[in-house]
Structure 1
């Protein structure tokens, strides 16, 4: 089973042909997709895409958007997570590359998401970019307060943060970045990820894999990501598919496994 663990199908880039994109994904063998919430205020649009039987969703606010609601309460996330179609908390985290929200607000909002993940038992979908030291500190402090499950999505950060997150039981998702010619450092980290906690994603409409780089990404391109993961890990395509499927359902356990 091919599963795209991170799509943004509510994004305006799909407004002209969303239904066709979803049908192309199905035709390419994508059996399940998780539509990721970019901000709580946009949840209705995110949820609308998840009306389909094979699409699920999350609730959360991306670090770029943290400034929209700096006082975001964990209970707000918990309440929305009562919807059975919500299978994760996030995307949330820290992005010190663009700094589109103040760093202290990013951290404050991130901790609210951690609390919601801990309370609901749903996995935390973590975005981290150029914030390795602070991210390590926060996840370790929060884990000490009480365990929670986390997914380091589209992981491109350093080996040390990866190791520290893995020590807390984190899962990791691999995206089209692993296919980029200049991404050897990313491939080196992928080679060391826990074999039973790796899943795949497109992060569409962003980060289209080779040979589609530069185009709008879509879930139908996921097999190219899986093929690169298989190459890096020395797995057959069948083994890569089976391993990532098992890891996905172990993490996103609100989704019934067919």
Structure 2
């Protein structure tokens, strides 16, 4: 079985077809999905999805790209995370690709999320783009290793992956790993230890080959696993088992309802 460790099923383009998407998951042996928060005003709809479906879970956080937000504080995030189906803090992190200028507000937002994660002892979902050095520095300064987490939709170097793993983080591969030009990322997928790997879709974005350019969905996460198996000359079942075990080891959601 497969688990989509990062998707946005609450986004309108996916939410309107939720029943079909859940059926597609079942047909492709994708047993669970983590629905990831990107802002606090819409967090209730993320939480509601997790409450309504046994095989869906939620996170709480504010994406670093979202400028026009009331800045969250650690206590507020921690309070919202106090729910059995909320299993992670984020997504959070730094993005210097889309935004420019004085981004100290982004760094402070990231710090608040790490502090919240430490308060509630739940792992972090970290987004980093064109900001690896500052991301790793703040993780270290704020003690992110105490809770661990995942470097979501990883596109950085093998060196960055190693530094994150040393801080108790997992590396998550999205549909990007199936793209022909993702040469460096394919090397990371080949070399990373199996017990530190997760797979995701980041739906509705980044659909893997053979669906590249189309709307993504959790059912497509199996194509990410298939590419990783191909790259490593490994059995698909081994990738599925490892990434599923890693998901439960990291996020520690309720295990009831998991097929034997």
Question: Shorter-normalised TM-score: what interval?
Answer: over 0.9
- Paired with 1:194 and 1:134, the residues of 2 have a C-alpha distance of 25
The answer to whether the 8 Å contact 1:64/1:101 transfers is no
**Which has the higher mean CA deviation after the structures are superposed, 173-182 or 229-238?**
229-238
Over aligned residues, Cα RMSD in angstroms?
1.7
Q: How does 1:110-129 map to 2 (within 5 A)?
A: 110-129=110-129
**1:23 Cα deviation after fit:** 1.7
1:246 aligns with 2:248: no
- Paired with 2:101 and 2:90, the residues of 1 have a C-alpha distance of 16
- Paired with 2:74 and 2:100, the residues of 1 have a C-alpha distance of 22
1:208 aligns with 2:207: yes
Task: For structure 2, list consecutive stretches of 5 or more residues without a partner in the other structure.
Answer: none
Q: How does 1:10-29 map to 2 (within 5 A)?
A: 10-29=10-29
**1:222 Cα deviation after fit:** 1.2
3-state SS of paired residue (1:64): coil
- Paired with 1:37 and 1:102, the residues of 2 have a C-alpha distance of 25
Would you say how many aligned residue pairs link Structure 1 and Structure 2?
A: 256
Q: Which residue in the other structure is 1:193 paired with?
A: 192
Q: Could you tell me the TM-score, scaled by structure 2's length?
A: 0.93
The CA deviation string for residues 170-220 of structure 1, in whole angstroms up to 9 with x for no partner, is 111111000001001111122232320101111110000000000000111
The answer to whether the 8 Å contact 1:5/1:33 transfers is yes
Q: Which residue in the other structure is 1:171 paired with?
A: 170
3-state SS of paired residue (2:98): coil
Q: Structure 1 residues 253, 100: closer, same or farther in 2, change over 3 A?
A: farther
